Amino acid sequence: MPKTYEPVATTTLASDQATVTFTSISGSFTDLILVASIRTVVTNAAIYCQFNGDTGTNYSNTQLLGNGSIATSGRQTNVSQLRIGNFTASGTNNFSPVIAHFQNYSNTVTNKTVISRAGSADGGLVAEACLWRNTAAITSILVGEESGGNMRTGSILTLYGIKAA
């Protein structure tokens, strides 16, 4: 990673787990980046996050998905979680990358935006533009699998802070 990236926390799952939570996130960075390699227990899995324990309908997602044959798009508004990855095929067999950029996360004036990318070897790629309609600084991030399944043993999630230039 460039010298501007500082590891905040890393979790490697020792057993199947429904969620991972990064807590006590310092406000000393400009942005946060989540880099993950996740395998799930269900096919057609979606990875989501929630901030600061907010389970209200304060999130929105816009998604672009392509698999080499077709391209689709979709939108979710007023949902209780922010989708950052969607594995449209057998995420159960492959570790799939997820990269999410939490922009201006410690600003207390604006709503929070997230840009994410994810994919699977047999299911295509997805890009998400997401919004959390809240001006609070992000101090905790919960990451989970949307259908209620688990992330499998060996999945790795690392949160980085981007230092000011």
pLDDT reported for residue 86: 76
The whole-chain average pLDDT of the chain stands at 90
Q: Domains along the chain?
A: 5-162 (2.60.120)
Confidence of residue 92 (pLDDT cuts 50, 70, 90): low
Amino acid at 126: V
pLDDT tens track for 106-138? 999 999 999 999 987 777 788 999 999 999 999
Angle formed at CA 14 by CA 10 and CA 20, multiple of 5 degrees: 50
User: CA-CA distance, 35 to 159, in Å (whole number)?
Assistant: 6
**What's the predicted TM-score (pTM) here?**
0.92
Please tell me the predicted confidence (pLDDT) of residue 1: 46
